Amino acid sequence: MHPTLNCRKINRNNLWKCKSVYLMHMCLAIPAKVTEMKGQVAGVDFGEGIHREVDVTLVETKVGDYVLVHAGYAIQVLSKEEAQETLRLWNEILQAPEEEVHGSKPKI
């Protein structure tokens, strides 16, 4: 358990789960839906019109699955519910006023 982030380590490669948000070496992993497969490369949809190709050699996945993407690699397959909850949390963070996320702004 990480003492300040309320996270738990879920494997030996420093993958952490923090309330449905996954962190790897404190870098973020983002959920995406697999829309097509071409061998070991998947087309994924991050939502809001953002589509990318990612390497899926680390996971077994198929069209329709949700995967966690970090640095161009799918690192874990998620349930639809886990992916939706993670995206909901991301949207909540992104829509929060800056003061709520970083504290009050310094006056210049």
Residue 25, pLDDT above cutoff 70: no
Report yes or no on 38 lying in a domain.
Answer: yes
Report yes or no on 47 lying in a domain.
Answer: yes
Report yes or no on 74 lying in a domain.
Answer: yes
**Mean pLDDT of all residues belonging to the chain:** 77
Report yes or no on 8 lying in a domain.
Answer: no
Per residue in 54-92, pLDDT (tens digit) is 999 999 999 999 999 999 999 999 999 999 988 888 778
Domain count along the chain: 1
Contact predicate 18/26, CB 8 Å: no
Report yes or no on 66 lying in a domain.
Answer: yes
Read off the pLDDT band of 98 (50, 70, 90): low
User: What domain range is 56 assigned to?
Assistant: 30-96
Report yes or no on 16 lying in a domain.
Answer: no
The CATH number of residue 55's host domain is 2.30.30.140
